[in-house]
Amino acid sequence: MSVSLTVMTFNLHEDQPPESPNSWDKRKELCLRVITSYYPMILCTQQGVKSQLDYLQQGLPGYDQFGVSRKGPEDTSDEYCTIFYDKERKVERFGYLNHPLSLEACHGDQQFHALQRVEPPGFSFEIVNTNMDEFSPRARRRSALLTWQHIASLPPSLPVVYCGGFNTQKESTTGRFLLGRSREHGVVGDLRDAWPNARVRKNLSLIRTYHGFKGDKQGAVEFLKLIFRALCLCWDRQTQDLHIDWILFRGKK
């Protein structure tokens, strides 16, 4: 049985003050155009607030969404890790397990979402959507370990997609652990990176996924730093990028 699964991860980077050049009102139409140009089956968003998610839902009538605030299902004031899914593809059976890592850092968050696709019959998979801490490497390592323990508890035959904002590069201790190149508390992950394994890759010239709202317009010093870091990664073909937003997977290609 051959199944095509398209997944997009998109950090909405919470709403900025109205006077900011990066406010949601100034970029929301572009965000929507990017999403609709790819039309993924699964769209995993991070750091979105309710107003942003409501706008996307209005502009994506072919999708439903699933997710809760970091503070729980009764809260609407905090950030969400929300998954949008193409409702025509018949995705059902949801569950979530929300793990805010408040003891380690104030921004760490894990949400496990179990989804079952019933067309074609019998194909099940799990999506794990995450937004790791921006500042603490220790919090990111603990977050990765927590997620891996969950994934390792699943049946080996169940495909898993683990994506979101990891806020670090793949050559970091967090990335190397998840990709099976280093140990964390005696265990090793066995996930694969979708980027080098993809049958078709677009926008190959974009070697990073975070640019501080600057796009390709980087200052000279920032540009030289970027080139230097990219050259430092050339020794490892599987980490030749500066992506901090990843799509990892286990199971069927």
Residue 211: inside a domain, yes or no?
yes
Residue 243 is predicted with a pLDDT of: 82
Residue 43 is predicted with a pLDDT of: 93
Work out how many domains the chain is built from and give that number: 1
Residue 213: inside a domain, yes or no?
yes
Most confident of 76-90, 93-107, 151-165, 220-234: 151-165
**55-104 pLDDT, tens digit each:** 999 999 999 988 878 777 788 888 888 889 888 766 655 555 555 443 33
Q: What is the mean pLDDT of the chain?
A: 78
**23-35 pLDDT, tens digit each:** 999 999 999 999 9
Lowest mean pLDDT among 2-16, 56-70, 235-249: 235-249
Residue 2: inside a domain, yes or no?
no
Residue 85: inside a domain, yes or no?
yes
Residues 231-251 have a mean pLDDT of 66
Q: Look up the domain containing 233 and give its range.
A: 7-250
Residue 92 is predicted with a pLDDT of: 58
Residue 247 is predicted with a pLDDT of: 94
Residue 43: inside a domain, yes or no?
yes
DSSP readout, the chain? ------EEEEE---PPPTTSTT-HHHHHHHHHHHHHHH--SEEEEESB-HHHHHHHHHH-TTEEEE--BTTBTT--SS-B--EEEEGGG-EE---EEE---TTT-SS-EEEEEEEEE-SSTT-EEEEEEEE--SS-HHHHHHHHHHHHHHHHTS-TTS-EEEEEE--S-TTSHHHHHHTTSS-BTTB----EEHHHH-SS---TT--BS--TT-TT---HHHHHHHHHHHHHTTT-GGG-SB-SEEEEEES--
Residue 66 is predicted with a pLDDT of: 83
Residue 25 is predicted with a pLDDT of: 92
Residue 100 is predicted with a pLDDT of: 47
**CATH number for the domain that contains residue 231:** 3.60.10.10
